[in-house]
Amino acid sequence: MPRIDSTNGPVWKRRTTKQQWAIWAGWLVALAITAFAWQRISEKTIWFFVQDAPRQAADIGSRMIPPKFSYMSKLWAPIWDTLNIATLGTVIALVIAVPVAFAAARNTTPHPIVRTIAIFIIVASRSVNSLIWALMLVFIFGPGVLAGTIAIGLRSIGFCAKLLYEGIEEIDHTQVEAIEATGASGPQKMVFGIVPQVLPTFAGIGVFRWDINIRESTILGLVGAGGIGLELNGSINTLAWTQVSMILLVILLTVVVSEWVSAKVRGAII
Amino acid sequence: MLRLEGLKKRYKTGDEALKGVDLEIPDGQVIALIGPSGAGKSTLIRCVNRLVEPTGGKAFLGDIELTNLSSSKLRKARSRMGMIFQEYALVERLTVMENVLSGRLGYVGFWSSFFRRFPAKDVQEAYRLLDRVGLMHMADKRADELSGGQRQRVGICRALIQNPDLLLIDEPTASLDPKTSRQIMRLINELCQERGLAAIINIHDVLLAQMFSQRVVGLKLGEIVYDGKPDGLTPDVLTEIYGEEDWEATIEKVDDENELESEA
């Protein structure tokens, strides 16, 4: 933008001198904030514990090895619960997310007021973490798998609906126009013009969220909402470290398998 | 027969795309609508089937007034007008057959179309049309696997299976190579002859317009400035429609074409 005429012809620079100084000033401020924050944290840290940390970590690590493989017999049921929480939660979320997404997308919403409500549902669902949903639902439904499933479902509605409505807004309008021009009714326009265009997006979102939910549902047991987290919590509380390492191993394997499955499914759809 | 009486369209931006167009197209006549970009050609045909709502004037198909129809009657009227698009506008992820059958949506109920249970007569007609345009073997392919020319043929089938009285054709060749363009235009022309269909073809290519239509209408800034025979397009007329340019080359080429055509 800035052009400086010199004797050797025009010189071009990316920024004006003023802009360049402003950027340097910005870096200086960032540095000052970092230094100040570091100082505050240092003041409140008990350095003895930090120095001790490697030894403590090594200690816990040694207590965790070897994992208690015999404990596996007690883990099959909770890991099955965990998978069910994730899968059912995702299904519930998708069923609710579809109408919400169509109501939220600018090109399919029946009315701006409906759109506002749909956007509110999305924001409300997304702003609360599934662990917090679970915490509240355990009070309502009592501890167990049901609370966990609904918590996962509620948290996922917003995620799925948001991505889906963005997908709906990005469709090619001429394809819809062509269907409309044949004399198709509103619902037919949806089925022939819009749904085929967003179907891959929908499937991709569903698998992606299922993948995330498997990881999220492993910790829901910490607040009593069922699944393998319940065992994890119990094992930590009783200082049964070999069981803890076994559980972490199982969670790791489950997540790896779910990653693999979702990658395969997504590859097949797109 | 299509009749436009003082058709007007003013967009929300304030642009006046159509300034009162009067036009009458008898049954079975194929007209080419030419004019510079922004002249209102696309707006004109979209105002006929009301994909764009006209802001004034009237449009009649036969004795039905299109411009004041309720939405259910509009659906019925739309099913009598086939539309063909520049970028084909096929539903990319549906099969060729589904795309063709979607032309019947104005005639079948929701659940039949949802489960793709179209009447046997429609399915037979779809196969017949695909055979007519040489795409029988492509019926089960997905639309996005087809080439441009093939897609446009599917687009033509989708419009024809509506069994329309009128075809609205928006730049059918703008995305095609010169040879395919001619083949498509020839096909559209033949099909209109076979079925005695009236058609409005928006087209940029003056040459093609002259070769494949019985009448040319020139639109400029929302007004008709030429309406007559294809060979009446003299340099003066083209200057009137498009503005100052050396038109001799275009006209000469047309003559060559005609000779070639007649020799062949």
Give the residue with greater pLDDT, B216 vs B235: B216
- Interface confidence: ipTM more than 0.90: no
Burial class of residue A85 in the structure, from the number of CB atoms within 10 Å of its CB (0-12 exposed, 13-18 middle, 19+ buried): buried
pLDDT tens-place string over residues A168-209:
999 999 999 999 999 998 889 999 999 999 988 898 899 889
* Residue B145 scores a pLDDT above 60: yes
Cβ-defined contact of A184 to B102 (cutoff 8 Å): yes
Cβ-defined contact of A192 to B106 (cutoff 8 Å): no
> Rounded mean pLDDT of chain B?
87
The shortest C-alpha distance from B94 to chain A (Å) reads: 7
**Out of A44-48, A183-187, B48-52, B113-117, which region has the weakest mean confidence (pLDDT)?**
A44-48
* Residue B112 scores a pLDDT above 60: yes
* pLDDT (0 to 100) of residue B264: 42
- Residue B42: CB atoms within 10 A of its CB come to 20
Chain B's closest residue to A194, CA to CA, is B91
CATH homologous superfamily for the domain A73-269: MetI-like (1.10.3720.10)
Left, alpha or beta for B129 (phi > 0: left; psi -120 to 50: alpha)? alpha
Give the residue with greater pLDDT, B260 vs B116: B116
Binned at pLDDT 50, 70 and 90, residue A270 comes out as low
Name the fold adopted by B80-202. Rossmann fold (3.40.50)
Chain A's closest residue to B49, CA to CA, is A181
| Chosen from A170, A172, A180, A182 to mutate, greatest number of chain B CBs within 10 A | A182
Query: In the A/B pair of chains, how many CB contacts fall below 8 A?
Result: 81
Residues of A in Cβ contact (< 8 Å) with B98 = 192
Distance spanning both ends of chain B, measured CA to CA: 34
* pLDDT (0 to 100) of residue A1: 60
Domain boundaries, chain A: 3-64, 73-269
Largest CA distance in chain A: 84
**Out of A25-29, A60-64, B214-218, which region has the weakest mean confidence (pLDDT)?**
A60-64
Residues of B in Cβ contact (< 8 Å) with A174 = 85, 87, 89
**Out of B57-61, B220-224, B231-235, which region has the weakest mean confidence (pLDDT)?**
B231-235
The pTM (predicted TM-score) of the whole model is 0.78
Distances (CA, A) of B77 to A77, A166, B48, B62, B68: 62, 33, 10, 11, 11
3-state secondary structure (DSSP) of residue B165? coil
Residues of A in Cβ contact (< 8 Å) with B47 = none
* Residue B251 scores a pLDDT above 90: no
Q: Which of A247, A246, A253 is nearest to A66 (CA)?
A: A246
What is the mean predicted confidence (pLDDT) over B127-151? 90
The shortest C-alpha distance from A163 to chain B (Å) reads: 20
Residues of B in Cβ contact (< 8 Å) with A193 = 91
- Closest to B91 (Cβ–Cβ): which among A183, A187, A193? A193
* Residue B261 scores a pLDDT above 70: no
What is the mean predicted confidence (pLDDT) over B70-78? 89
Q: What are phi and psi of B258, to 5 degrees?
A: -60, -40
- Closest to A181 (Cβ–Cβ): which among B51, B93, B104? B51
The answer to whether A29 and A20 have CB atoms below 8 angstroms apart is no
Cβ-defined contact of A183 to B106 (cutoff 8 Å): yes
* pLDDT (0 to 100) of residue B253: 53
Cβ-defined contact of B106 to A196 (cutoff 8 Å): no
The answer to whether B240 and B218 have CB atoms below 8 angstroms apart is yes
- Closest to B105 (Cβ–Cβ): which among A172, A174, A183? A183
* Residue A130 scores a pLDDT above 90: no
Residues 91-130 in B contacting A (C-alpha not used; CB under 8 Å): 91-94, 98, 102-107, 110, 113-114
* Residue A248 scores a pLDDT above 50: yes
B76 CB within 8 Å of a chain A CB: yes
Q: Which of A224, A22, A27 is nearest to A136 (CA)?
A: A224
Residues of B in Cβ contact (< 8 Å) with A192 = 91, 94, 98, 102, 105, 113
Cβ-defined contact of B76 to A172 (cutoff 8 Å): no
